[in-house]
Amino acid sequence: MKNEFSLAFNEVLEEKQLPKEVILSALESAMVSAYRRAVNASSAQHVEAKIDPDTGKVTVYAEKEVVESVMDERTEVSLEQARKVNPLCQVGDMVIVESTPKDFGRVAAQTARQVIQQRIREAERSAQMKYFERQLGEIVSGVVQATNAQSTTIGLDMKAEGIMPANQRIPGERFRVHDRVRAIIMEIKDGSRGPQIILSRAHRNFLRRLLENEVPEIYHGIVEIRAIAREPGQRAKVAVSATQAGVDPVGACVGVKGVRIQAIVKELHDEKIDIIEWSPDPVVYISKAISPARVSGVYLTEGEKTATVVVMEDQLSLAIGRDGQNARLAAKLTGWRIDIKSVSEAAADALSRLQSEPSMALMAEAEKDNLPLIREILAKKADGRPLTPEEYQALAQFVDRVERRVIERQRAADQESAAKLAEARAGIPAAAFDQPLDVLNLPEHVYNILTEADYRTAGDLLLAMKTAPDRVLSLPGIGPKAMQAIRTAVETVSFPEEEPRPSETVEPVAEASAPMPEPAPEVAVATQPAALDAVVEEEPEAETSFEELFKLRPESFTPASDDEVEKKDKKGKKGKKAFEYEYDEERGEVIGRKKHKRGGDFYEDW
């Protein structure tokens, strides 16, 4: 049968939800503190405490000096007592011996209560911190403990409390005490009274986690969430894509008869959710992001990352949404600035552009037959008269032609600008882009201004001065004197020329002439007429076949004596290269190897 200590110990374990080792360590630390207070021991003295978890018996061990005559029992022990612990100890040694005072259990219970409570509290906070750090960004469930206009307190696992600020609640939600609430852990702070856990139901990742829980395809990676744009409590747009062929990502998220998405809508206080399919084509992606409105055309301006979306008159209010909500969410979802126009408004802008911009003169000439019709339709629209579907179609086609012409012109201008930039960069040494800006020896204030403007290397500044000097002049703090200093530094700076790589070094090859130059000294052994194993000679001209080589140099295939080789070796010209040829049966051709002479020996380079 368990004693009182075991029952109390197990009760603490169950209440605090801490490991057994943590509670024992806290108790032992408290016993050490109680011993130091009881005997007034120094903090420099090493003291240990051991607790038997079954009986609750406390044993204290203290480090003491071995002496012949004990003067202070707190720090000294006799030689006889010390040798019971360590038979080899001598006078002056330090040994750890049992030093449990009499009635220590009662004394410890009175003096160590505060220490035990503090240690258990610290261990509890540490365990809570580690547990919830692993839960960061995940959904947790808790019970509402208190709520007011500023925040809601929610009780979580491990007796922790989470705070949900008012701006992280879904607008329109009202919580009551003892309601069970799900939220995402947005942030964790380590406070003096334990971890401060900030919860959120308005964050877009809360919707992401709900989709992962409700849609198995998302959880297993078959469907991937590409982007989320959300206005809590009102509307959200989610872009999804499939990672496997044959999977409908939108259908997987909606579920049969919308059962999956309806569960999420109910959790989010009837928030409307649009699921669209992500596309790598920005035009298709933006067209789907404007849904439920039908789009007539999407025209992109790449440099400014702006998209002009043209819709029919009856789709304009639907595309914009209440207070611009639909357009705002579409812009957040795609990352593009979206400008929505009706087809009549877009046609009026296109007509004005044709008439006012000189660069559109050619386009205006090509459209001169259609312009009267477009003006007539726009005048009819301005008078409030209804337009036929054919007239709307004519306006849409006119807008499409003009916008495409503008896009083509912009692309041509971008290509021309890129070509000029590449040409300017080619005139700057490559080493300049590896040298820091300080090699130009600019004045200190000019150097600081250019560094803040993100000019990091000398090549960056040289390129800017060559292509857009006005941009440098427009920097705050750059005036005529500073520009003169920059021009002087740019004109006088020099960079080391790049040394050619060893593999790119080309040695002159002796041209064929009569009489033919003496071959490089090597031993040539011909084993078969059709297959030569080792024939070494000077490098021949390119594209020389095996048969031509054999006819050209038959004497090269005659074995030479050792004396002849040695003589020729001494007469060999310095710097000449030798080639060794082998017949490759698989390729059916002769393969050559370069041979260089160093120190009387040859080494080969294929």
Average pLDDT over residues 77-89: 86
Q: Is the pLDDT of residue 404 over 70?
A: yes
26 and 106 inside one domain: yes
Give the pLDDT confidence score for residue 451 in this predicted structure: 86
Q: What is the CA radius of gyration of the chain?
A: 44
Q: Is the pLDDT of residue 557 over 80?
A: no
Q: Is residue 344 a part of any domain in this protein?
A: no
DSSP-derived 3-state class of residue 339: strand
Pick 10 or 430 by higher pLDDT: 430
Q: Is residue 383 a part of any domain in this protein?
A: no
Pick 304 or 259 by higher pLDDT: 259
Residue with tokens 């090493």: 46
Average pLDDT over residues 219-233: 94
Q: Is the pLDDT of residue 332 over 70?
A: yes
Pick from 322, 115, 165, 175: which is nearest to 235 by CA?
Answer: 322
Q: How do beta strands 306-311 and 337-342 pair?
A: parallel
Measured between alpha carbons, how far is 578 from 569 in angstroms, rounded to an integer? 12
Q: How do beta strands 601-605 and 589-598 pair?
A: antiparallel
Q: Residues 371, 375, 381, CA angle at the centre, nearest 5°?
A: 145
Q: Is residue 459 a part of any domain in this protein?
A: yes
Q: Is the pLDDT of residue 556 over 50?
A: no
Give the pLDDT confidence score for residue 525 in this predicted structure: 37
26 and 112 inside one domain: yes
Pick from 100, 99, 82: which is nearest to 91 by CA?
Answer: 82
Measured between alpha carbons, how far is 337 from 327 in angstroms, rounded to an integer? 9
Q: Is the pLDDT of residue 406 over 50?
A: yes
Q: Residues 289, 294, 298, CA angle at the centre, nearest 5°?
A: 65
Q: Residues 419, 425, 430, CA angle at the centre, nearest 5°?
A: 145
- Burial letters for 310-341: b for 16+ Cβ neighbours within 10 Å, e otherwise? bbbeebbeebbbeeeebbbbbbbbbebebebb
Mean pLDDT of the chain: 79
Contact call for residues 572 and 520 (beta carbons, < 8 A) = yes
Among the candidates 147, 172, 202, a domain finishes at 202
What's the gap between Cα 524 and its chain centre?
61
Q: Is residue 488 a part of any domain in this protein?
A: yes
Listed in sequence order, the residues at least 6 apart from 259 whose beta carbon sits closer than 8 Å to its beta carbon are none
Q: Is the pLDDT of residue 604 over 80?
A: no
Give the pLDDT confidence score for residue 546 in this predicted structure: 43
Domain containing 151: what range? 135-202
Among the candidates 150, 168, 202, a domain finishes at 202
Pick from 188, 194, 185: which is nearest to 158 by CA?
Answer: 194
Residue 313 identity: E
Q: Is the pLDDT of residue 132 over 50?
A: yes
Q: How do beta strands 76-78 and 535-538 pair?
A: unpaired
Contact call for residues 271 and 236 (beta carbons, < 8 A) = yes
Among the ranges given (55-59, 131-135, 312-316, 495-499), the one the predictor scored with the smallest mean pLDDT: 495-499
Q: Is the pLDDT of residue 285 over 90?
A: yes
Give the pLDDT confidence score for residue 534 in this predicted structure: 36
Measured between alpha carbons, how far is 303 from 308 in angstroms, rounded to an integer? 13
Contact call for residues 115 and 30 (beta carbons, < 8 A) = yes
444 and 541 inside one domain: no
pLDDT tens-digit profile of 361-386?
Answer: 888 888 888 889 999 999 998 998 88
Average pLDDT over residues 9-30: 75
Give the pLDDT confidence score for residue 128 in this predicted structure: 86
Q: Is the pLDDT of residue 302 over 70?
A: yes
255-264, long-range: CB < 8 A, 24+ apart: 255/214, 255/215, 260/214, 260/215, 261/214, 263/214, 264/207, 264/210, 264/211, 264/214
Measured between alpha carbons, how far is 525 from 533 in angstroms, rounded to an integer? 7
Q: Is residue 419 a part of any domain in this protein?
A: no
Give the pLDDT confidence score for residue 17 in this predicted structure: 66
What's the gap between Cα 570 and its chain centre?
64
Q: CA 379, 382, 383, 388 torsion: positive or negative?
A: positive
Q: Quick one: pLDDT band at residue 3, thresholds 50, 70, 90?
A: low
Measured between alpha carbons, how far is 522 from 602 in angstroms, rounded to an integer? 10
Q: Is residue 20 a part of any domain in this protein?
A: yes
Q: Is the pLDDT of residue 410 over 90?
A: no
Q: Is the pLDDT of residue 571 over 50?
A: no
Residue 213 CB neighbour total at 10 angstroms: 15
Contact call for residues 483 and 472 (beta carbons, < 8 A) = yes
9 and 58 inside one domain: yes
Of 10-19, 118-127, 159-168, highest mean pLDDT: 159-168
Q: Quick one: pLDDT band at residue 5, thresholds 50, 70, 90?
A: low
Measured between alpha carbons, how far is 244 from 255 in angstroms, rounded to an integer? 18
Average pLDDT over residues 500-519: 45
25 and 79 inside one domain: yes
Give the pLDDT confidence score for residue 574 in this predicted structure: 42
Give the pLDDT confidence score for residue 25 in this predicted structure: 82
Give the pLDDT confidence score for residue 283 in this predicted structure: 93
115 and 55 inside one domain: yes
Give the pLDDT confidence score for residue 583 in this predicted structure: 64
Q: CA 453, 458, 460, 464 torsion: positive or negative?
A: positive
Among the ranges given (270-279, 291-300, 589-598), the one the predictor scored with the smallest mean pLDDT: 589-598
Q: 190 pairs with which residues across the strands?
A: 195
Q: Is the pTM of this model over 0.75?
A: no
DSSP 8-state class, residue 296:
S
What are the tokens at 388?
């036929």
21 and 92 inside one domain: yes
Pick 406 or 230 by higher pLDDT: 230
105 and 51 inside one domain: yes
Q: Is the pLDDT of residue 469 over 60?
A: yes
Q: Is residue 22 a part of any domain in this protein?
A: yes
Q: Can you state the angle between helices 371-382 and 389-426, rounded to 10 degrees?
A: 120
Pick 205 or 431 by higher pLDDT: 205
Measured between alpha carbons, how far is 7 from 168 in angstroms, rounded to an integer? 44
Q: Is residue 173 a part of any domain in this protein?
A: yes
Pick from 370, 306, 312: which is nearest to 339 by CA?
Answer: 306
Pick 456 or 308 by higher pLDDT: 308
> pLDDT exceeding 90 applies to what percent of the chain?
32
Which strand ranges, in their side-by-side order, compose the sheet holding 578-584? 535-538, 578-584, 589-598, 601-605
Q: Is the pLDDT of residue 434 over 60?
A: yes
Give the pLDDT confidence score for residue 111 in this predicted structure: 59
Q: Is the pLDDT of residue 58 over 90?
A: no
Largest CA-CA distance found in the chain, in angstroms, rounded: 124
DSSP 8-state class, residue 401:
H
Q: CA 377, 381, 387, 390 torsion: positive or negative?
A: positive
Q: Is the pLDDT of residue 245 over 50?
A: yes
Query: What's the CATH code of the domain at 165?
Result: 2.40.50.140
Helices (H), 238-370: 249-254, 259-267, 282-289, 316-320, 325-334, 343-356, 361-366
Measured between alpha carbons, how far is 498 from 492 in angstroms, rounded to an integer? 19
40-48, long-range: CB < 8 A, 24+ apart: 40/74, 41/74, 41/75, 42/75, 45/74, 45/75, 46/96, 47/99, 48/96
Q: Quick one: pLDDT band at residue 588, thresholds 50, 70, 90?
A: low
Average pLDDT over residues 438-442: 83
Residue with tokens 């000439």: 365
Among the candidates 172, 202, 232, a domain finishes at 202
Query: What's the CATH code of the domain at 478?
Result: 1.10.150
Give the pLDDT confidence score for residue 152 in this predicted structure: 93
> pLDDT exceeding 70 applies to what percent of the chain?
77
Among the ranges given (233-247, 280-294, 365-379), the one the predictor scored with the smallest mean pLDDT: 365-379
Give the pLDDT confidence score for residue 407 in this predicted structure: 86
Give the pLDDT confidence score for residue 539 in this predicted structure: 43
Contact call for residues 183 and 164 (beta carbons, < 8 A) = yes
Among the ranges given (35-44, 83-92, 128-137, 314-323), the one the predictor scored with the smallest mean pLDDT: 35-44
Pick from 23, 35, 32: which is nearest to 104 by CA?
Answer: 35
Query: What's the CATH code of the domain at 40?
Result: 3.30.1480.10
Q: Which residues of 36-88 form beta strands (DSSP E)?
A: 47-51, 58-67, 76-78
Residue 183 identity: A
95 and 144 inside one domain: no
Dihedral angle, C-alpha 316, 320, 326, 331, nearest 10 ° = 110
Of 400-404, 456-460, 568-572, highest mean pLDDT: 400-404
Q: Quick one: pLDDT band at residue 2, thresholds 50, 70, 90?
A: low
Give the pLDDT confidence score for residue 589 in this predicted structure: 64
Pick 118 or 84 by higher pLDDT: 84
Q: Is the pLDDT of residue 337 over 70?
A: yes
The number of domains in the chain is: 4
